[in-house]
Amino acid sequence: MLYWRIGRDILERQAAQGWGAKVIDRLSHDLRVAFPDMKGFSRTNLLYMRSFAEAWPDEGIVQQAVGRLPWGHNVVLLTKLKDREQRLAYAQKTIEHGWSRNVLVMQIESRLLERQGAALTNFEERLPHPQSDLARESLKDPYRFDFLGLTEKAQEREIELKAGDFKPEHLGQLGFYLTAVDRQIKTTEDRPTIGLLLCRSKNKVVAEYALGDNTQPMGIAEYKLRESLPESLETSLPSIEQIERELTEGDA
């Protein structure tokens, strides 16, 4: 809230005095003189405070959502996203899941929330509301398998993914799995079983026709593989050599 109030003060002073008045430079100097033991009053950080107050003019949102995040997370939201609703959505997900700053950067760069709920499904016709909405929002398109050890060389037989384009007959195999789950695992208290088919690519029209003919609740989404982790996250993770060395030293 302190940073938000400083940012709002900068906006008000600049509105009254103009950009040429060097409001930020003077304020940075005055704050560092008045509070020599406090950090965070550099010119760059004051510019972030100004952007923070400009992005969130409503004090209530600052108190309820973004104000619950560390300052570094808010800087990421300001620099990585331009849309207000996207910033708020990623802020809420960060609070919900406890994402670190590096994980937040990775989720934004992979467009996690934009992919969420984007898979083609027949849930609206095959599931009652609100179950259909909840099920649809739980799916993404495309899926990214950064953490599964998969690369472009992954073989279809090693994991249940369709390595080629979507074909309508793939839903027949998925339907077989759903039936097996319903008969062997599902209980009377369980909600309807839903299926998700992952393929390298799909024709939207073909997928919609295939789903329309199917009586079981299913979705179709694409998946993407990466050769490596994003640099921002990769640098924060220990190497295999470091882990092995620490384990060896611990045993000793």
**Predicted pLDDT at 78:** 93
Residue with tokens 């092995």: 244
> What does the CA dihedral 86, 194, 150, 119 come to, rounded to 10 degrees?
-40
Q: State pTM to two decimals.
A: 0.51
CA-nearest of 10, 14, 56 to 30 is 10
> Residue 48 — pLDDT band, cuts 50, 70, 90?
very high
**pLDDT: is 243 or 99 the higher one?**
99
- Any alpha helices (H) in 98-142, and if so which ranges? 101-109, 112-115, 123-126, 131-137
pLDDT score of 4: 92
